[in-house]
Structure 1
Amino acid sequence: MTKIDEFADIRPYYDSEVREVLDRLLVDRELLNAVANLRMPRANRWFPKLLRPLVSAILRRQFRNVSSVAEFQVVVKDYMAQMIASSTSGLGVSGLEHLQANRAYLFISNHRDIALDPAFVNYALHSNGLDTVRIAIGDNLLSKPFAADLMRVNKSFIVQRSAKGPRQMLAAFRKLSNYIRHSLQNEQSSIWIAQREGRAKDGNDATEVALVKMIGMSQSKGEESFAEFAAALNIVPVSISYEWDPLDAAKARELAQIERDGSYQKAEHEDLKSIAAGIVGNKGRVHVHFGEPLRGDYADAGELAAALDRQIIGNYQLHSSNVLAYMQLFDDERWRELGLPQISESQQQEFDQHFANMPPDYRRKALEIYARPLCNQLRLCDEVQA
């Protein structure tokens, strides 16, 4: 009897499914338009019908011998390398000494960019001989069929946020929790998930206790304590920092509108457009830090979330953009307590130019976004010293 695939609707695609999915993607009109718009935006604006066959031919050549997830990710790595070269000032990685090649980890990171956060984690791991992760992605990002296929062939699994009603949501979260544990312990495949639902648009990296509780739904209560359950997951806090956020103005505008009107309504397919803008936009220096696996005697989800916050905030690599935003908002020199490098004249000029190009209506919100990680590190220092 064939075993029922209980996670078929949310799991990443298996190697046996990759070729069929790729053949479907390589003739998808919307995907071809999206790729053309990313690579040749001006030409695609005027000659979309002419570019689609060209893009299809290029992609067919690149993926013609791909028949597994690993082979697919080798091609993706080349695209990542091109993106890093064209839109960053370099990628820094630290903390790899905390990881072992033969272990599966639950990487929980702060969340600033929809697609690039796990992409940079994967690039850092793959470039250093470690296995890539399975990526948690909300079904709200899969408004187009090609997006779901593309994500799942790249080791993404689906978080069913659109489930309706308490019972359906509870069932979806329990399945997700069971899948995370199944992936880690039965299939020995690492997982990446953000510390919160949605990006920290205000720059405040805080772990949602509800997310930790969701992960904890697969705990075998009565057979293992919460601390034993958490230890078995090999949880690693990850801190991802961008010198510049390509979507800082958009995030600041949204925050200002919420403050003014009480709500913000996303445009259709806005998240997909944000993904594209994040990929091509200038990010300056990017840094990924892998923290130490959590091994504390955590009594509950709240204590575990607090431990995640201490590492994610404490290991966040601050950039000149964070310091200069803090200096502009606050009349104090407390940032010097963190032992950060002095700000150069060129960094000051770049900062001034960046904010001069931003509409004044939400410039202060953008400054607050950049200053928040530094504020959080100072608060963490105060807590340690207290």
Structure 2
Amino acid sequence: MDLTEFDEIRPYNDDELPQILEELIADPAFINAACAAIPNVSFEMLAYQMRGCKTKQDFQKTFCYGILWKIAADYTDGLTLDHTALPDKQKAYTYLSNHRDIILDSGFLSILLIDHGMDTVEIAIGDNLLIYPWIKKLVRVNKSFIVQRALTMRQMLESSARMSRYMHYTVSVKNQSIWMAQREGRAKDSNDLTQDSILKMLAMGGEGDILDRLMEMNIAPTAISYEYDPCDYLKAQEFQLKRDVEGYKKTTQDDLKNMQTGLFGYKGKVHFQVAPCINDVLSTLDRSLSKPELYATISTLIDKRIHANYRIYPGNYVAHDLLSGQATFSAQYTVEEKQHFETYIEKQLARIDIPNKDLPFLREKMLLMYANPLINYQITQ
């Protein structure tokens, strides 16, 4: 295998770190960002600590671990992981999860894995988010590999095949776990469904038939449950803009605002529930099924495992009842919890600043974001 084909997309190798860290230390834009992220430490001290990092994991433990736990302490009411469905801590998995936050889904998972005595994950990240050179360098120091997005159809096929080969190499040869979202981009309405295209990409690399190739990836569906989504009002706003403005597209500035709001907005409780690896079911599937049937069956299997492992919060029940106009789930929340959630929704709606603000439409979209996880969870019970 020619490993140089991955040079453009893979995380940096540890022997490349000294040079890259020096480039970051010399970059004024990185200096500004680092001083904002770690305000109580001089940049000279940060640079000294960076130079002491010999491996990517050193860097993660020295910087990312502390910053992420500080975000969890300041902006959540608790961050938890249940990993008991995967008893073998030495094995590499592909954590395939629903997607709520651009940075924190994978970031929180990594620090929780460290606290469970395991290694951090390599992270699939879209190049649309790497808007400055220092961000691209930083994510590759932080064990990210790059998903190339704005390509022609032919380039996209070649890029997907290369990424798939890289992921197979990472899990089966490096024995390194990976985190990946079940779809491209976040589900704006929290109706989390696996895109067949993700599975097709995963099946491009590896050996054997589709099932052999997917089994090589040790896919472990993972349910991420945020009690509150700080970006909920931005997602609702996007729904109205897409409805009202022909050809509406988010800007780089919008992406930055989503990242910032996601990081520093209130999230309530956050829980990661890892489901069993799907290999047990894959090994029993009928190999004579057509490709579309096979992918549809596997997507449904992953969806069910994610939906069944959601943690349902009082707000999810309240949102469902407010949408339906019924009191179906009134036993699941108190009067205070209902009041608290309604106040929260109104406060978030007030943050939306667009022309011709359609409040009934926006409110319905916001409530649906909180009701959908419960609707999907109910189906699995």
* TM-score of the superposed pair, with normalisation by structure 1: 0.87
Corresponding position: 1:233 with 2:217: yes
> Is 2:298 aligned against 1:331?
no
Q: Name the CA distance, whole Å, in 2 between partners of 1:105 and 1:134.
A: 10
Counterpart residue number, 1:275: 259
Cα distance 1:236–1:4, how it changes in 2: closer, same or farther (>3 A)?
Answer: closer
Corresponding position of 1:352? 342
Once the two structures are TM-superposed, the CA of residue 7 in structure 1 deviates from its matched residue by: 0.3
Residue 5 of structure 1 aligns to a residue in which SS? Answer: helix
1:119-162 deviations in Å (ceiling 9; x for gaps) = 11111111100111110001111111111111110100001112
2:185 aligned with 1:191: no
Pick closer, same or farther for the CA change 1:247–1:4 going to 2, 3 Å. Answer: closer
Paired letter, 1:155: K
Of the structure 1 ranges 349-358 and 178-187, higher mean CA displacement relative to structure 2 is found in 349-358
Where has structure 1 moved over 6 Å in runs of 4 or more? none
Partner amino acid, structure 1, of 2:236: A
Q: Distance in 2 between matches of 1:214 and 1:115?
A: 22
2:274 maps to amino acid? F
1:82 aligns with 2:70: yes
Same amino acid, percent of matched pairs: 34
Determine the structure 2 residue equivalent to 1:47.
none
RMSD: 2.2
CA distance in 2, matches of 1:263, 1:319: 36
- 1:370–1:55 Cα change, 3 Å: farther
The 2-side partners of 1:122 and 1:95 are apart by 12
- Please name the residue that 2:5 is paired with: 6
Measure how far apart 1:15 and its partner are.
0.9
User: Residue 241 of structure 2: SS of its match in structure 1?
Assistant: helix
Matched, 1:167 2:151: no
Task: Name the SS of the counterpart of 1:98 in structure 2.
Answer: coil
User: In the alignment, is residue 321 of structure 1 matched against residue 320 of structure 2?
Assistant: no
Aligned to 1:292: 276
Aligned AA (1:369): M
Contact 1:32/1:56, CA 8 A, preserved across alignment: yes
Deviations 1:205-249 (A, max 9, x none): 0000111111111143xxx33223222221100000111111111
CA shift, 1:322, in A, is 1.2
Equivalence for 1:44: none
**Secondary structure of 2:269's aligned partner:** strand
Match of 2:100 in 1: 112
Q: Distance in 2 between matches of 1:209 and 1:334?
A: 34
Partner of 2:355: none
Q: Distance in 2 between matches of 1:334 and 1:351?
A: 17
TM-score in terms of structure 2 length? 0.88
CA distance in 2, matches of 1:33, 1:345: 46
3-state SS of the aligned residue for 2:175?
coil
Aligned match for 1:68, one of 47, 55, 74: 55
CA contact (8 A) 1:27 1:56 kept: no
1-structure distance, mates of 2:33, 2:336: 35
Partner secondary structure for residue 192 of structure 2: coil
User: Distance between the aligned counterparts of 2:327 and 2:343, measured in 1?
Assistant: 23
Does the residue aligned with 1:202 lie in a helix, a strand or coil?
coil
Instruction: Give 5+ residue unaligned stretches, structure 1.
Output: 41-50, 382-386
Contact 2:18 2:51 in 1 (8 A): no
Residue 115 of structure 2 corresponds to 127
1:322-359 Cα offsets, whole Å, 9 max, x none, are: 111111111345547xxxx7323443332122122123
Distance in 2 (alpha carbons) for counterparts of 1:345 and 1:21: 54
Give the deviation of 1:61 after TM superposition: 4.1
Gaps of 5+ in 2: 288-293, 351-357
Give the distance between the partners of 1:225 and 1:302, measured in 2 at CA: 16
Correspondence 1:306 to 2:300: yes
Query: Is the contact between residue 318 and residue 329 of structure 2 (CA under 8 Å) also seen in structure 1?
Result: no
